[in-house]
Amino acid sequence: MAPPDGALLDAGCGTGSLSRAMKKRWPDRTVSGVDLAPAYVAFAREQSDAIDYKVSDVAALPHRSRTFAAVAAQLVLNFVADPRHTLQELMRVTRPGGIVAASVWDFRGGLIFQRMFWDTAAGIDPGAGRTRDKLFSGALALPDGLLKLFEQSGLRDVQRGSLTIRMDYANFDDYWGPLLGGQGPVGTYVIGLDPAIRARIEDAVRLAFLSGAPDGLRSLTATAWAVRGRVS
What tens digit of pLDDT does each residue of 158-178 get? 999 999 999 999 999 999 998
Q: Domain spans of the chain?
A: 1-106+143-165+224-232, 108-137+171-216
Cα distances from 135 to residues 6, 78, 147, 195, in angstroms, run 36, 8, 18, 24
- pLDDT 10s digits, 106-130: 988 899 999 999 999 999 999 999 9
1 — pLDDT class (breaks 50, 70, 90): low
Q: Which amino acid is at 202?
A: E
Identify the pLDDT of residue 216: 98
Helix (H), strand (E) at residue 43:
helix 38-47
CATH topology of domain 1-106+143-165+224-232: Rossmann fold (3.40.50)
What is the DSSP secondary-structure string of 188-217? HHHHTS-HHHHHHHHHHHHHHHHTTS-S--
Cα distances from 60 to residues 64, 122, 191, in angstroms, run 11, 35, 29
pTM here? 0.90
